[in-house]
């Protein structure tokens, strides 16, 4: 029996080649985008086994079929490389369970696209960094991920969300939301709007550099939150990078900056008490060392030089995205309480302000690590 009656899980489960009979499923994880479930099956040997079952958010990802082509191809590519390197391909990359018709997804109706993954056991994701070593290892994992994909044919990747990290376009969308003010909320967030407006010139630095050809386009993850890497329970290694919906051509600095944004904050991304929100430089150093140990020799001088800028810019960008969603009536990120997106925007802006204070210290750490 399903423990959740929103969807008919037993019928969805029959549509994938799980090799066992469906027992139960329940919501799983803390993602803001997809609907994730753990689904238990009784296998032919009588043992219980769980899998990840995910409903792809097709409000966010307008073309789930093309998205799944990306994921199928990227995971197959990673699997091959991991085998060649003598790693464990069942734990070090996501592995899709095919649908019974052989496709990489199951479409239960016009609006519901499902996919299933092998559940990576003996590892977990964390919502905040509990041990500095974990964050060092996350840095290594994301750096390695980027390196493994450095010879992936970038032109074959479908752009699942256009202009995903184009901060200029994000800013225009934000201004649009302020002007439209469909919920009549702008009056309550003048200080936050002003904070964003003041920083426009700095915020578009990376986009301008990319346009001028000063930074190389690579295949990047683009959503390098600490909870998108599985940390092994025994070794503490960043065993597997997950959440591959946004693997697209991008900047290495997007991946670095976004990871710093989320992981160096000792508080939750939606913490209401802003005195708890700040950038922990010791954690910044950990991630930087891990990331550079895996990807450092492939990064250009310009990339290395702009690591601290990327932390600030990606945090700013995420802040304006949350604020835009608040102003637009919370249509993008899942919310669990009133004003949730505003709380999230506020933590991001608090972090930006703290990063501004600590900018030179970040630079010193980078110079020491190069
Ligand atoms: P979202 O895009 O909504 O963030 P994710 O793909 O990141 O969704 O999945 C949400 C959570 O589910 C992850 O943070 C992780 O805890 C868990 N998860 C996802 N895939 C797996 C997997 N293959 N094995 C174990 N846990 C997983
Ligand atoms: C979303 O899917 P999840 O929760 O890992 C978002 C990221 C944001 C993040 C903020 C596809 O990530 O871009 O940085 O929330 N993903 C998408 O927490 O928009
Ligand atoms: Mg995620």
Per residue in 343-369, pLDDT tens?
Answer: 999 999 999 999 999 999 999 999 886
Task: List pLDDT tens digits, range 136-150.
Answer: 999 999 999 999 999
Domain residue spans of the chain: 9-121, 132-369
CA of 251 to the centre of ligand 1 (A): 23
Whether 344 lines ligand 2, by a CB cut-off of 6 Å, is no
The ipTM of this complex is 0.98
**Contact yes or no for 248/222 (Cβ under 8 A):** yes
Q: What is the pLDDT of residue 219?
A: 97
Task: List pLDDT tens digits, range 2-41.
Answer: 344 689 999 999 999 999 999 999 999 999 999 999 999 9
Percent of all residues in the chain with a pLDDT value above 90, rounded to a whole number: 96
Superfamily in which the 132-369 domain is placed by CATH: Aminoglycoside phosphotransferase (APH), C-terminal lobe (3.90.1200.10)
Segment 94-107 shows an average pLDDT of 98
Q: Whose CA is nearest to atom 12 of ligand 1?
A: 29
- Tell me, yes or no, if the pTM score tops 0.90: yes
CA of 337 to the centre of ligand 2 (A): 18
Architecture of domain 9-121: 2-Layer Sandwich (3.30)
Whether 95 lines ligand 1, by a CB cut-off of 6 Å, is no
Nearest ligand (C-alpha, residue 125): 1
CA of 226 to the centre of ligand 3 (A): 9
Task: List pLDDT tens digits, range 205-256.
Answer: 999 999 999 999 999 999 999 999 999 999 999 999 999 999 999 999 999 9
């Amino acid at each position: 029996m399903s423990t959740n009656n929103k969807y008919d899980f037993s019928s969805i489960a029959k549509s994938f080649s799980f090799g066992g009979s469906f027992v139960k499923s329940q919501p799983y994880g803390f993602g803001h985008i997809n609907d994730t479930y753990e689904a238990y099956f009784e296998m032919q040997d009588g043992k219980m086994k769980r899998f990840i079952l995910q409903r792809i958010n097709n409000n966010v990802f307008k073309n789930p079929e093309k998205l799944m082509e990306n994921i199928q191809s990227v995971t197959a590519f990673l699997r091959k490389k991991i085998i060649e390197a003598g790693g464990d391909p069942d734990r070090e990359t996501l592995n899709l369970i095919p649908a019974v018709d052989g496709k990489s997804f199951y479409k239960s109706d016009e609006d519901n696209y499902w996919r299933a993954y092998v559940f990576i056991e003996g590892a977990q994701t964390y919502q905040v960094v509990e041990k500095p070593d974990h964050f060092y290892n996350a840095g290594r994992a994301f750096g390695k991920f980027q390196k493994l994909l450095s010879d992936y044919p970038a032109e074959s990747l479908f752009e699942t969300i256009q202009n995903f990290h184009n901060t200029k376009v994000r800013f225009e969308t934000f201004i649009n939301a302020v002007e439209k003010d469909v919920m009549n909320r702008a009056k309550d967030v003048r200080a936050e709007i002003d904070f964003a407006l003041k920083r426009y010139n700095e915020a578009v630095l990376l986009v301008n550099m990319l346009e001028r050809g000063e930074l190389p386009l690579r295949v990047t993850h683009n959503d390098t939150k600490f909870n998108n890497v599985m940390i092994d329970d025994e070794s503490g290694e960043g065993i597997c990078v997950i959440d591959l919906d946004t693997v697209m051509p991008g900047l290495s600095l997007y991946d670095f900056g976004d990871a710093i944004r989320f992981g160096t904050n000792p508080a939750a991304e939606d913490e209401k008490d802003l005195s708890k929100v700040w950038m922990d430089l010791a954690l910044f150093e950990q991630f930087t060392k891990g990331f550079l140990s895996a990807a450092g020799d492939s990064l250009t001088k310009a990339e290395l030089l702009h690591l601290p800028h990327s932390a600030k810019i990606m945090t700013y960008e995420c802040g304006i995205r949350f604020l835009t969603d608040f102003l637009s009536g919370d249509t993008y990120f899942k919310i669990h309480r009133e004003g949730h997106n505003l709380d999230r925007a506020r933590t991001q802006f608090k972090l930006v302000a703290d990063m501004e204070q600590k900018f030179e210290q970040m630079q010193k750490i980078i110079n020491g690590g190069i």
